[in-house]
Amino acid sequence: MLRRCLLTVLLALLPATLAWAADAVPRLVIVAGKPSHPPRMHEFNAGVQLLAKCLKSQPGIQVDVVLNGWPENEAIFDGAAAVVFYMDGGGKHEVVQENGRRLKMIDEWVANGVGIGCMHYGVEVIKDQAGPQFRRWIGGYYENSFSCNPIWEPEFSVLPEHPITRGVQPFQIKDEWYFNMRFVANIPGNVPAEADGVTFQPILVATPSDEVRDGPYVYPKGPYPHIQADKGRAEAMLWAVERADGGRGFGFTGGHFHDNWANDDFRKTILNSLLWVAKTDVPAEGVQSSLTTEDLDANLDPKPQRKK
């Protein structure tokens, strides 16, 4: 009798359970790093909140943001379809802290098909700390003194056919665009490739001028002979990968100057990337959004003004 009653209750709950499952949408977590750099540069906290606002009315995605570095409550990552890191990198990168515990955690996510994205300084890690992991997760990383970080204004005049480029028009914008990344299998990264278990697709590609290659770079100032030796070669500054585990990843080297989010095509490219990495359909014309000056000025970190 008891068994029959339990079965009756379960059957009654089943339609509601199925309805909840049908309504569930992929969840994207965007993690902002701690404040750094002068005002309106590396505005990670303001940047992730701005991107989340642009996606607020976008159907088919739930966006959660984490401010000021790694969350105290890691439960926010539970069930996420994708996690994107917009933060400072190198030896202080949030993902390499705690003696590799966080790296192992992300490796477990990746093994289960979770998408991973890294933006601007967040693509840089120390080779022996997390180079192999970043190649697996997102297809490449910035290596100090191998890659370079000049401030320049590439022209993205040719865009590949890909969900990330939907609705994006060719554009040109000044930023601290890193290039010459350590890509999977040491590919140059400027053309599509199959390598080391990933399908690699460059998205934003441009050719630095000889003057850009000759430096100075932001740090170290260079120039580096191996960067100069590749004069005339196109470079990828946004790329996307589809991994053998079923997950996706992307790396984006721009995002130094906060005010660049005001550029519609710059912003749309990343909004599309956020949907794509979470395996959410990107609209035919890309994510539609608009910003006001007030939007750009919202949530900026309190920073001392640079002395003139």
Predicted pLDDT at 307: 59
Domain 26-297: CATH superfamily is Class I glutamine amidotransferase (GATase) domain (3.40.50.880)
DSSP annotation of 305: P
Q: Are 139 and 241 in contact (CB under 8 A)?
A: yes
The CA-atom distances, in angstroms, between 254 and each of 175, 193, 194 are: 6, 22, 24
Residue 239: which of 175, 186, 169, 162 has the closest Cα? 162
Three-class DSSP category at 235: strand
Predicted pLDDT at 306: 63
Predicted pLDDT at 17: 41
Predicted pLDDT at 257: 98
Predicted pLDDT at 305: 73
Where do the structural domains in the chain lie, given as residue ranges? 26-297
Paired tokens of 20: 């909840």
What length does the chain have?
Answer: 308
**H or E element, residue 193:** strand 193-195
Predicted pLDDT at 9: 40
Query: β-pairing, 171-172 with 155-156?
Result: antiparallel
Split the chain (308 residues) into runs of 10 and give each run's mean pLDDT.
45 42 79 96 98 96 98 98 98 96 98 98 97 98 98 98 98 98 97 95 98 97 97 98 96 98 98 98 97 97 75
Helix pair 101-111, 127-138: axis angle to 10 deg: 20
Paired tokens of 111: 């093994």
In whole angstroms, give the CA distance from residue 104 to residue 91. Answer: 17
